[in-house]
Amino acid sequence: MPLLGAHQSIAGGLHLAFDRISQVGGESLQIFTANQRQWRAAPLRSDDVRLFQERWRQSGGMPVASHASYLINLATQEPEKTAKAVAAFAEELERCGQLGISLVVIHPGSHGGAGIEVGLTGVARNLDLALERSGALDSSLRVLLETTAGQGTSLGSRFEELGWLLEHSRYPGHLGVCVDTCHIFAAGYDFRTSAGYEQTLTQLERHIGCDRVHFFHLNDSKKGCGSLVDRHEHIGEGQIGLEGFRLLLNDHRFRHHPMTLETDKGADLAEDVENLHRLRELMA
């Protein structure tokens, strides 16, 4: 069965994310390793790393992914912004290396009007630079390019674009894909029926390869299929509905994959508990 979980806050300390995921009965976890609204993060202290790794072991060693800051745009064509983005992503990879996190999710970025081909070329080049500068090439760390909804000039809403990046990096063994259900639906992939789901997976296999998908974000969508609008909704309460999630959760190709929620929640995390309950009811 897939390993269901949620993105959790690191407020009060990185290690407390494990208390929160345990509270909701999660089997996988996604976090930010630092404040995702700031470019620079304070260096990790040895106690931070020790506590995080201790709690991780106590949790049973569940899959953990980091989500890179939304500020990072590896597709930008402006030299100063490019240097800033590469440095910030290299630092993120270094932090993950210290913590022992081997999965790092990032949005491919926005070409800002320069065009898809120019933007993708920049992403491939800057991904490679960040991997080289971080020391990640000597580890098992894998960068997961996230599918996007296609808003504005963002890249990654088409499987072809992510497949191109996987092919044009010098380090394909350190790359993979994270599929966000809300994003692919908003981008026009309608997987709400058996026929639609198989068509979507046929495209995914053709342009990326199911074996290159290592992580999922499970989010319903406030907006309709092809809207190109990224607005997450609770499971079964949006435009995707329950059947699309049922088809994914029972797909043998992804039966051991970590899948995390990225839906809104209150301090008591009750929404995570409810969403996970709904998802588990869909599994055969």
* 3-class SS letters over 179-246: EEHHHHHHCCCCCCCHHHHHHHHHHHHHHCCHHHEEEEEECEECCCCCCCCCCEECCCCCCCHHHHHH
Active-site residue flag, 232: yes
Catalytic residue of the set 55, 111, 214, 217: 217
φ, ψ at 136 (rounded to 5°): -70, -20
Active-site residue flag, 47: no
Active-site residue flag, 161: no
Catalytic residue of the set 7, 55, 67, 257: 67
Active-site residue flag, 15: no
Catalytic residue of the set 27, 180, 190, 220: 180
Catalytic residue of the set 262, 271, 274, 278: 262
Please give the angle made by the CA atoms of 139, 140 and 142, to the nearest 5 degrees: 115
Question: Cα(109)–Cα(86) distance, rounded to whole angstroms?
Answer: 12
96 Cβ contact list (under 8 Å, min separation 6): 33, 66, 102, 104, 136, 141
Instruction: Say how many C-beta atoms besides its own lie within 10 A of residue 157's C-beta.
Output: 22
3-class secondary-structure state, position 258: strand
Active-site residue flag, 146: yes
Active-site residue flag, 256: no
Strand-pair partners of 65: 30, 103
The separation between CA 6 and the C-alpha centre of its own chain, rounded to angstroms, equals 11
CA nearest 72: which of 98, 92, 101?
A: 92
Active-site residue flag, 257: no
- The single-letter code of the amino acid at 130 is A
Catalytic residue of the set 48, 128, 146, 272: 146
Catalytic residue of the set 19, 50, 54, 70: 70
Catalytic residue of the set 91, 230, 234, 272: 230
Catalytic residue of the set 158, 183, 212, 234: 183
* Catalytic residue set: 37, 67, 70, 107, 146, 180, 183, 217, 230, 232, 262
